[in-house]
Amino acid sequence: MYPDTKELVTSLTSIMSISGQEEQGRETLCSILQPYFDEYIPDPSGTHVFVRRCGKQGAPKLLLDAHFDEIGMMVRDITEEGFLRVVSIGGLDRRILPAAEVLIYGKETLYGVIGAVPPHLQKAEDYKQAPKIEELLIDTGYDRETLRTLVDIGTPVGFYEKTASLLGSRICGRSMDNKACCAAAVLGAAMAKRENMAWDLYVTLSAREEAGMASGCSAAAYRIRPDAAIVTDVTFASAPGVREDESGKMGNGPVLSLSAVTDRRLTERLLQLCRQREISCQTCVDACDTGTNATMLSLVGAGIPTAVVSVPITSMHTYNETVDTVDIEYAAALFAAAAEEEGLRS
Amino acid sequence: MRTILKKLLQIPSVSGREARLGKYISKEMQPYFDTVESDALGNVICRKRGEGKKLLFCAHMDEIGFIVTFIEEDGFLRGAPVGGIDFHAAAYSKVVFENGQVGALIPEEGVKPEDYKGDTFVVDIGAKSREDAECLVSVGHCFSLESQLFSLAGDRICGRPLDDKLGCAILMSAAQEAASFQNDITFVFSVQEEVGLRGARTAASYVEPDFGIAVDVTMTGDVKGAKPMAVSLGKGAAIKLKDKSVICDGFLAEKMASIASEHAIPVQKEILTVGGSDTAALQLAGAGCRAGCVSIPLRYCHSGVEIADYKDVQACRELVCAIAQNKF
Amino acid sequence: MKQDWTTMSLLEELSCAFGPSGCEDAVADIIRSRIAMYCDEFLPDPMGGVLARICGTGTMEEGAVSPRRLMLSCHMDEVGFMIRSITEEGLLKIASMCGSDTRVLAGRRVLVGNAAFQVRGVFGVKPLHLVKSADRGSALDIDELYVDIGAGSRQAAEEVVHVGDFGTFESDFVSFGQESGYIKGKALDDRLGCAVLCSVMRRVYEMEKRPACDLYFAFTCREELGISGARTAAYRIDPDYAIVLEATAAGDISGTPEYRQVAHLGRGGALSLMDRSTIYDRPFTDWILETAMGENIPCQIKQYVSGGNDAAHIHKSRTGVRCAAVSAPARYIHTASNVVAKKDIESIEQLLMAVINRLYNEKK
């Protein structure tokens, strides 16, 4: 039994998990994922660890990491007139923020609109400038006094857009980075047939990747001590302005990283598995840095051989990241195959 | 005519606020015309029925100015320009409100002259607070630079707003000859020219003339640093061929020139490369008409010290009368 | 038969309807179906607008027209864009019809198609990570923007959309803020005018007496392009008075100097004295203001000279029309997230009813 991909992505994206806030959605997350795993281990770092065992004594551990956190904002100040000022959490794209819709996770979840300067106050040259984050105002429709009872300095603020369908198997919405890959990891675990599994599979939905520290992933891995690891994260899909050789084509399957910082043998094995099982996949060169948790993860403890399997998305770090669910399903198939492959590291 | 002009200058008439001036002109024009009406926008339309072609003469009553948009906590007023204000010419000037209140138009400290615009100016009426100011003026009140008129050397006069109260004065003075007019004649004293030729358009739609002739000021090429332009102060009435808003009707322009030469009225041809006039609105209103303009040469237009030559003004008056008396 | 809608429910329906300038049919259909039973006749409008008439006292007979005619006008269209071309990859390149601020387009969800059929798309953005750091503060150029409908190829895209098709924002209608007193949606400029006018028609029609003069309700096209359907509507109706119902850009947000805030949400409809294209008839505007004060209806004066609306064309129509404009203050207009106060919509409806009621009792 495994879940419908779009439904799974939709339910994962609806859990707010702005970097540093990953634990808030624990109950919801566990209730969604409980059918597919044997065990849940909360990690003090905020990382959620879900385990699916193969049932064999002394089986090696495969860690499948997908960061669970998402970019967002945090309340910095409430103005006299009752507007919120914010700082960014993660690499927010300020070119798309005016008039964007947000949710403010205070005592109650409030709706808000990021203010845009009215046209009569703008000069033509202003249109060419993206506003600075510190200049932005969030309009909640509350006066200052009431707002102060509901929202505090430090309250997280996230985007409003829910997951929606485009043509065919494509979907769009907030936080496809990285809920699409979380879904791929969960789906992969669910698809692995227990009788065939050669590995105990540890799925870490890790904290604080967008905050630039990979701390959630490393901490969990330190406790788990896996024998091998696969990091799954989003990568750039081919689109106008994106070079073809630094991106993957949407719908053509997951993108495997060829990099100096990942384990080449593990990567080659995964590519081989794709060929054997007729799983569509593609490769991409990330010479010195994959821009994922992989670099830090591979350095944990005495070192962990790590590969990177990515799902291509467009419009990364906007509130309408777009992904093809077919790519999620191909990635999941690869993860299931890996968990069933005894000779993954030979 | 100087008396008429003086009287007109005493009545403020920023675009949109011409009602008082319109009332005065209506009353003055009553004896000379069959009907004197005012339309929805406030144009004064004076009509003398007659045989033959329908001629419309049009001078605009409105002047450029400002409208109060906001009163600050500390009693300063914010305003927006009404019409083409030259803020360099207006800075640090005395301004007068419709109710007689006076004030000073001041740029904000530190604003460079090249950045002058509506939002960088305030009016100081001496009020100490918003409450104080609200007793004297309110949002929506209009004001303008102080009106004035004085004589210079020879026949030259200086003051404001000669644009286009000179034109109004010319028509009002010409009206005294109305008994001698041929044709079906309408004099229109139009509103809202300075904000986009709005009044002349609806007036012309109403009258549906065969010929529409504006009487308005034009710039001259004889001031220091001026763009080359073949119009000089003192060389007579100008017959407009073209400005930025209109290409005048060729037949009418020639006819005007030949009438002038028959009556030995000094005229010059005018091609203006900036600015527009009611001529354009007359030409396009309704099914359109043959349109032209009798222009009054004027130096330093839209400043507080516009300068005209009285001889030119007289020539314009004579030309208007001669056209009205000519059988078309 | 009474129809089961309120101003607010109709506003939600209209806000979500697809109606960029030049493609207002879906909005017009909704409006026509809601008001058909509340007017005496529809006037033809080749421009695609909806023009409806409620006869005044004594003008019910065929062909009779009241000598006094009041026109109430709002516009149906919203800001949008048009598909200029479709790339090999199935992406849509667009021509904007909503001004030059691309910052409110990038990343947005949109609908593209025609009045009958639309598909969802997204304004794609080159990932920030691949943008040179010097350029990260620059707004995207209109030529960099494209709409991704998920087609994957030109052929797949052409099965559902075509060059020349229209597009507009997709945006939920949301009640929010203190006591849920605010709404957010797309196209509130000027669907709120449309919703209010529909309600006013129903209320007028359900009154016992006929109004003292003929009332004309104009729901116009293409206001946002400046080539207004109001111009031709005013020509046909030939009113002596007109009130334009609009949304005006409110700047009542932190950091904006008070004198540039224009109008405040929650303080009632804003009456214009002057904007960039019209000087409003002062006696008529004063009369409306006086009516509001007499009935204790919140109302404010627009305290800045900015913008323009259908009045630009109406007041210069034929031999001139005495024009006033009442606008709901709206934050962030011309974006997907217009914000207005519910109270203001109620105040404006009340004000129009008071104006019409006063027409019964006295001659202006």
The CATH architecture assigned to A72-159 reads: Beta Barrel (2.40)
pLDDT, residue C27, reads 98
Q: Which residues of C touch A127 (CB under 8 A)?
A: 100-103, 139
Contact A166 C119 (CB under 8 A): yes
* Interface contact flag, C303 B139, Cβ < 8 Å: yes
Q: What domains appear along chain B, each with residue ranges and CATH number?
A: 2-63+161-325 (3.40.630.10), 65-145 (2.40.30.40)
C63 and chain A in contact, CB less than 8 A: no
Over residues C115-144, the mean pLDDT reads 89
What pLDDT does residue B10 have?
95
Catalytic residues of B: 193
Q: How many CB pairs under 8 A join B and C?
A: 71
pLDDT at position C100: 63
Give the pLDDT confidence score for residue A28 in this predicted structure.
97
What is the dihedral sign for C-alpha C303, C307, C309, C311?
Answer: positive
C contact residues 162-191, partner A, Cβ 8 Å cutoff: 171, 174, 176-178, 181-182, 184
Q: What is the token pair recorded at A263?
A: 């384990």
Distance from CA of A117 to the nearest CA of C (A): 7
A105: nearest Cα among A44, A25, A163: A25
Inspect the interface and report whether the beta carbons of B192 and C279 lie closer than 8 Å: yes
Which tens digits make up the pLDDT trace of B191-219?
A: 999 999 999 999 999 999 999 999 999 99
The residues, ordered by sequence, that sit 6+ positions from A341 with a Cβ below 8 Å of its Cβ are A198, A269, A273
- What are the residue ranges spanned by the domains of chain C? 7-78+186-361, 81-169
**Closest CA of chain A from C97, distance in Å:** 15
> What confidence tens digit (pLDDT) does each residue in C8-62 have?
999 999 999 999 999 999 999 999 999 999 999 999 998 899 999 999 887 777 7
* Cβ–Cβ < 8 Å for B84, B64: yes
SS3 track for chain C: CCCCCCHHHHHHHHHHCCCECCCCHHHHHHHHHHHHHHCCEEECCCCCCEEEEECCCCCCCCCCCCCCEEEEEEECCECCEEEEEECCCCEEEEEECCCCCHHHCCCCEEEEECCCCEEEEEEECCCHHHCCHHHCCECCCHHHCEEECCCCCHHHHHCCCCCCCEEEECCCCEEECHHHCEEEECCHHHHHHHHHHHHHHHHHHCCCCCCCCEEEEEEECCHHHCCCHHHHHHHHHCCCEEEEEEEEECCCCCCCCHHHCECCCCCCEEECCECCCCECCHHHHHHHHHHHHHCCCCEEECECCCCCCCHHHHCCCCCCCEEEEEEEEEECCCCCCEEEEHHHHHHHHHHHHHHHHHHHHCCC
The interface predicted TM-score (ipTM) is: 0.85
Query: pLDDT tens-digit profile of B160-184?
Result: 999 999 999 999 999 999 999 989 9
Q: Residue B63 phi/psi, 5° resolution?
A: -125, 160
- pLDDT tops 80 at residue C2: no
> Selecting from 3.40.630.10, 3.30.70.920, 3.40.50.1460, 3.30.1490.20, what CATH number does the domain A5-70+174-345 have?
3.40.630.10
Q: CB distance B196–C282 less than 8 Å?
A: no
pLDDT at residue number C227: 73
Q: Which fold has domain C81-169?
A: Elongation Factor Tu (Ef-tu); domain 3 (2.40.30)
A39 touches chain C (CB under 8 A): no
Q: Which residue of B has its CA nearest to C303?
A: B69
pLDDT at B31 over 90: yes
- Among B134, B197, B202, which would you mutate to test the C interface (most chain C Cβ atoms within 10 Å of its Cβ)? B202
**Contact: B39, C320; criterion CB under 8 Å:** yes
What's B31's DSSP letter? G
Encode pLDDT of C199-231 as tens digits.
999 999 998 888 888 999 999 999 988 877 899
**Domain spans, chain A:** 5-70+174-345, 72-159
Task: Identify which of A100, A110, A137 has the shortest CB distance to residue C253.
Answer: A137
- For domain C7-78+186-361, the CATH architecture is 3-Layer(aba) Sandwich (3.40)
pLDDT at C287 over 60: yes
| pLDDT tens per residue across all 346 residues of chain A | 789 999 999 999 999 999 989 999 999 999 999 999 999 999 988 999 999 999 999 999 999 999 999 999 999 999 999 999 999 999 899 889 999 999 999 999 999 999 877 777 777 778 888 888 888 999 999 999 999 999 999 999 999 999 999 999 999 999 999 999 999 999 999 999 999 999 999 999 999 998 877 789 999 999 999 999 999 999 999 999 898 888 999 999 999 999 988 999 999 999 999 999 999 999 999 888 889 999 999 989 888 999 999 999 999 999 999 999 999 999 999 999 999 999 887 6
Widest pairwise Cα distance in chain B:
64
pLDDT of residue A75: 95
Q: Closest Cα of chain C to A3: distance in Å?
A: 23
Contact C149 A318 (CB under 8 A): no
- Contact between C316 and B139 using a beta-carbon 8 Å cutoff: no
Tokens linked to A40: 């849940």
